[in-house]
Amino acid sequence: MTAERFDPSVADVRWQKAWDEEQSFRADDSSAKPRSYVLEMFPYPSGRIHIGHVRNYTMGDVLARYKRMRGFEVLHPMGWDAFGMPAENAAMEKGVHPGGWTRDNIANMKAQLKRLGFALDWSREIATCEPEYYGHEQALFVDLYEHGLVYRKESAVNWDPVDQTVLANEQVIDGRGWRSGALVEKRKLSQWFLKITDFADELLEGLSTLDKWPEKVRTMQENWIGKSQGLQFRFDLSEGSSLDVYTTRPDTIFGASFVAVAADHPVAQGVAEGNAEAQAFIALCKQGGTTAAELETAEKLGFDTGITAKHPFTGADLPVYIANFVLMDYGTGAIMAVPGHDQRDFDFATKYGLPIIRVVAGSADDADKPFAGEAEAGDGVLVHSHFLDGMGVGEAKAAVIARAEADGWGEGKTVWRLRDWGVSRQRYWGTPIPFVHCEICGVVPVPKKHLPVTLPEDVDFSVPGNPLDRHPTWKHVDCPQCGHAARRETDTLDTFVDSSWYFLRFASQPADRPFDPEEIKRWLPVEQYIGGIEHAILHLLYARFWTRALARIGKIEVTEPFGSLFTQGMVTHETYERRNPENGQPIFFSPGEVERTGDGATLKADGAPVEVGRVIKMSKSKKNVVDPDEIVAKYGADAIRWFMLSDSPPERDLPWSESGIEGCARFVQRLWRLFSQIDASATGEDKALDRKVHQTVHAVAQDIEALGFNKAVARIYELTGAVDKAAPSASRTVAIRALLLLVSPMMPHLAEEAWSAFGQGLVADAPWPAVDPALLVDDEVTVAVQVKGKLRDTLIVAKGTPREELERLALASDKVQRALDGAEVKKVIVVPDRLVNLVA
């Protein structure tokens, strides 16, 4: 090592090339080593990686490199979640083909990831938009269909009017499309569904086995699955029929003041025959969305059918309304409305002047307490409820269910919030659903020998909607069963299907089938999965379902895909803005356009001040983003990797700062200077340093395994300081070599450059430093010596020094004798290994 400074612009390229040539990180399926599968959620190929990607993949990379050093055969792959609407939007806006746009982005992002030196097995790279991947997905979809886990039906759906496609309930946020932000509409369409509800119990019970998942994620999934016990019963209607309803709160049955049905309920449809007003109201209902959030926030509207429902206990006639907040696909499509204890019912009753009755109160004394402008859904005791009065909510629920079952008008029933997963999407850039519609045979799966069904290249994006549906030839095909003219399914699969099994394909990639179950058994479950908590009830729930579904039909044996889950925090940055003088709207500037001056900032272009805003998640719209390529070019890959691991615990947000990355770059150079001081000819021992090294190696290993990277970084800083201060010796040389190995998963380019001076191959192949258990325990302790309760001296002694010896050493101290000033010692209190207190 002759260079005075480490030059990342040269070293980064050199060692990335060396790893590629040696295929250093290629997982060997035939290896006899214990296996470790480390995986970060694969990215959407938007064109550029962002700092959040860098943090996510750096964490996984450190763990993967560490596992290799500990003797594991490591699978650490990378691929691309490559289907989806952004590619079609680019096609419409820029006049490019989605495939070309996507593959160009993949090439750009792959080059960016390589510049960061991640230890990835690129031989297993997959892109979900390639037929080599989605053809196997089609085969799995057909398998699930043949086992009754895929079906097609007409249903109310969430329709995104901008993206012109159906959205799953999980993809609607506050009544808007998760990508477009457009207000979602309600439509009826024939859709393909996966029977996730068949696995509701399994998915719920399985959460209890995931003790290495964040509690918050498990709770979110538990709430989304939403198991509840309630009562399904029937109302007798005034026009001679009956109406089934379901309620999770049978205890509140005496508070019912009306009944409501969905717009497409048979009762509503019957009323609408020959009734123009009812028809118009039903049409109005269809303009709303279908999600719980949409139903909560929309204005509550109703149409009085003129029909009444007889209360099963009181015999009262309750008016029956068609209501826009009731959906046919939820429960029975009809509800018992209790305005006092359900906010939607409260809003509706307030609008239409219906009774609002309190039947649950904090105590019997509050039975006639008025409502303060909203429903009260809390616990309490039953009031105004006849034989239920005085009971608690749980007891009252059981009592009503028992009475309904005994009298034959209802029964207790378990229901789930979870709904079957609608996977049809009316778009081009997705996996074609492998089915054919034949007027003679009906819906027919495409035979596996004819898979993949590939997307046509010649598509027209000049008008909104699904190009497959209007393609002149692609959808026209002969029925594979009878040979007559038929039509291909023109819907494509929700992209969350693509990401629901990709971790299986990473582990095993035979050409003739989706995966080899024996290889899956050896690699799965993923030992450590890393990604954002925003995927808690989308990707993570769907991946759990697909794994269990494939296990049920005999494709694999594993039932949970991810043994341990870690959800990392975001990288944040302050914003810079000015107000537009014409309309008062903010104009944002990027960090590169701004010069920070103390607590303020100025715009480089004109030198005038800009407002420094809050530190928030990096966002293109706020322009508070940092380009990883620029940071790598300026400081090198290792500096940015080190910054991603420093300071903030990995589960918390990490504020980006220019001074922080500069400090990391300085530490890289400090280590370089230290590594150059390795002296194989040095002699002599430094027992304290030896002990410090072994304790640090042991602790850093524990920190990495627990993903406590910031703690590991702090320990490495501490050891670096100790080595810096130590006198030359053989111990110091050993300490520097150990330090080099400790930082190699985090700063691999620096470590390789220094390691190469020793002629021992690649540090990527070097083992983790060995630890001597005997050196993990301190053999010396510091004992405080007090006189009259005040600290006067300290003693460094062997651990376990006897009481008598501690007393003798304390009395022999000059500092203690000066403090005593000739006074007689009346009492000596000794706490072994900790304290000697002299009472005079």
Instruction: Determine the pLDDT at residue 164.
Output: 80
| Amino acid letter, residue 398 | A
3-state secondary structure 500-511: CCHHHHHHCCCC
The whole model's pTM is what? 0.84
Instruction: Cite the DSSP H helix spans in 184-298.
Output: 200-206, 215-225, 266-272, 276-285, 292-297
Strand, helix or coil at 730? helix
Q: Which of 166, 19, 197, 2 is nearest to 762 (CA)?
A: 19
Tokens representing residue 75 in the block: 């699978």
| Domains of the chain listed by start with CATH number | 135-195+420-495 (no CATH), 227-416 (3.90.740.10), 780-839 (3.10.20.590)
What's residue 167's pLDDT?
A: 82
Q: What is the pLDDT of residues 341-358, one digit of tens each?
A: 999 999 999 999 999 999
Q: pLDDT tens for residues 317-338?
A: 999 999 999 988 777 999 999 9
Helix axes 8-22, 748-755, angle to 10 degrees: 80
With pLDDT > 70 as the criterion, what percentage of the chain qualifies? 98
Contact between 631 and 640 (Cβ < 8 Å): yes
The alpha carbon of 683 is separated from its chain's Cα centroid by a whole number of angstroms, namely: 52
Nearest alpha-carbon partner for 529 in 56, 121, 114: 56
Other residues' Cβ atoms within 10 Å of the Cβ of residue 205:
10
Are 503 and 530 in contact by the 8 Å Cβ rule? The answer is: no
| Beta strand segments in 356-446, E | 360-361, 381-382, 410-416, 421-422, 424-425, 435-438, 442-445
| Amino acid 487: pLDDT | 97
Sign of the Cα pseudo-torsion (96, 100, 101, 104, in order):
negative
What pLDDT does residue 464 have?
A: 75
Please, what's the largest Cα pairwise distance for the chain? Answer: 116
**Mean pLDDT for back-to-back runs of 10 residues, the chain (840 residues):** 87 98 97 98 93 95 98 98 91 91 96 98 98 98 98 88 78 79 85 96 97 96 92 96 96 98 95 95 79 69 97 97 88 94 96 97 95 92 97 97 97 92 94 97 97 96 87 96 96 97 98 97 98 92 98 98 96 92 89 87 92 88 90 97 93 90 97 93 93 96 97 97 96 96 98 90 96 86 92 91 94 93 92 94
pLDDT value for 489: 97
How far, CA to CA in Å, does 550 sit from each of 491, 538, 681?
A: 23, 18, 61
In the chain, DSSP finds a helix count (H) and a strand count (E) of 25, 37
